[in-house]
Amino acid sequence: MKKFEIPAFYKSPIISKVKAARKTQDPRKKDFTPTLLKFGKIEFLIARHFGFCYGVENAIEIAYKAVHNNPGKRIFLLSQMIHNPGVNEDLQSYGIEFIQDTHGKQLIPWEALSSEDIVIIPAFGTTLEIEQKLTDIGVDVKAYNTTCPFVEKVWNRSETLGQNNHTIIIHGKHDHEETRATFSHSNLNAPTLVVKNLAEAKKVSAFILGNIAEEEFSAYFRGKYSEGFNPTRDLQRIGVVNQTTMLATETQEITEFLRETMITKYGEEVIKNHIADTRDTLCYATNDNQSATLGLLEEDADLAIVVGGYNSSNTTHLVELLEEKFTTYFILSEKSISAKNQITSFNIHSKEEEHLFTFLPEKDKTRIILTSGASCPDAVVDAVIVKILDLFGVEADFETITLEF
Cα–chain-centroid distance for residue 282?
12
Cα–chain-centroid distance for residue 158?
19
Among candidates 370, 317, 307, which has minimal Cα distance to 344? 307
Q: Which residues pair with 76 in a beta bridge?
A: 97, 119
Among candidates 345, 312, 333, 339, which has minimal Cα distance to 380? 333
The residue annotated as part of the active site, out of 57, 131, 177, 178, is: 178
Are 195 and 253 a contacting pair, CB within 8 Å? no
Annotated catalytic, 352? no
Q: Which residues are catalytic?
A: 178
